[in-house]
């Protein structure tokens, strides 16, 4: 496995970690590693995952329960891949999968898909099982009144709508344009736009971890406007910052009350 640039606090302090310790720390539902991942690759990948997830938790002002979505989330490494797909979130199994050599850098994107899915039936009262909260918001599902939900909806509003909240955002316009040029319907899907917006938010933090996220600033996709830019990016980042600050506060308060 190649090395990945990282700038952030120390989490392991020289301790050797493995995927079992990661599963226990975050209470993931399950963790699976492919049979073709060698022992050395397993140890190296576990160290990268450990730092990436700890960095993500720090960036989100969250808790271990947030990262595993209260023990409902599973993940796979080097297993169950598909040709041409380096990372994928499985709606039916609530599991995100990363390919052995191509998946790193996709953790933030796939983790947000999992969060987006997890929150759907907590934010809306009339959504099917395989629904993302971002898509439900865009399609005017019935919201569940709650201050945290309102803050999440503000995130979606800044992602999908312009500053005045009347027309589509520049991110949506650029995504739709690329879809039209490629003859696809992918980049403008609400859940994909939301996940890329989240990637940008994570990458703009002072903690930098290319195993967690990369490519939102100077990649070909970024040049095409498939990640938020300029003032729009700043507004989305501010909305995410507000949401996760209050979400983390609520999670810690609930944990102390137990």
**Tokens (6 digits) for 150:** 């309102």
> Is the pLDDT assigned to residue 2 strictly greater than 70?
no
* Per-residue model confidence (pLDDT) at position 99: 84
DSSP sequence for 48-101 = HHHHHHHHHHHHTT--HHHHTTTTT-EEEESSS-BTTBSEEEETTTTEEEE-TT
Percent of the chain with pLDDT over 90: 82
Q: For the chain, give the mean pLDDT.
A: 93
* Per-residue model confidence (pLDDT) at position 100: 79
> Is the pLDDT assigned to residue 101 strictly greater than 90?
no
Alpha carbon distance 212, 53 (integer Å): 8
- Is residue 236 within 8 Å of 197, Cβ to Cβ? yes
* Per-residue model confidence (pLDDT) at position 86: 77
pTM of the complete model: 0.95
| Beta-ladder partners of 208 | 7
Average pLDDT over residues 91-106: 86
pLDDT band at 157 (very low <50, low <70, confident <90, very high): very high
């Amino acid at each position: 496995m190649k090395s990945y640039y990282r700038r952030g606090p120390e989490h392991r302090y020289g301790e050797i970690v493995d995927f079992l310790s990661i599963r226990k720390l975050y209470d993931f539902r399950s963790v699976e590693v492919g049979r073709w991942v060698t022992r050395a690759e397993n140890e190296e990948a576990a160290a990268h995952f450990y730092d990436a997830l700890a960095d993500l938790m720090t960036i989100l002002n969250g808790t271990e329960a947030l990262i595993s979505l209260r023990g409902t989330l599973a993940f796979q490494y080097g297993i169950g891949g598909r040709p041409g797909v380096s990372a994928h979130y499985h709606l039916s199994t609530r599991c995100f999968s990363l390919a052995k050599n191509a998946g790193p850098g996709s953790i933030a994107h796939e983790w947000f898909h999992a969060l987006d899915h997890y929150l759907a039936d907590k934010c809306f009262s009339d959504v099917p099982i395989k629904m993302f909260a971002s898509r439900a918001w865009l399609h005017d599902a019935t919201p569940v009144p709650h201050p945290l939900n309102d803050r999440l909806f503000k995130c979606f509003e800044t992602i999908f709508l312009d500053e005045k909240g009347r027309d589509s955002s520049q991110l949506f316009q650029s995504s739709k344009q690329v879809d039209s040029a490629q003859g696809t319907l992918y980049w403008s899907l609400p859940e994909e736009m939301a996940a890329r917006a989240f990637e940008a938010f994570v990458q703009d933090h002072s903690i930098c971890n290319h195993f967690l996220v990369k490519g939102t600033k100077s990649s070909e996709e970024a040049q095409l406007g498939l990640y938020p830019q300029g003032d729009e990016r700043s507004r989305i980042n501010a909305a995410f910052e507000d949401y996760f600050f209050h979400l983390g506060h609520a999670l810690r308060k609930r944990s102390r009350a137990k």
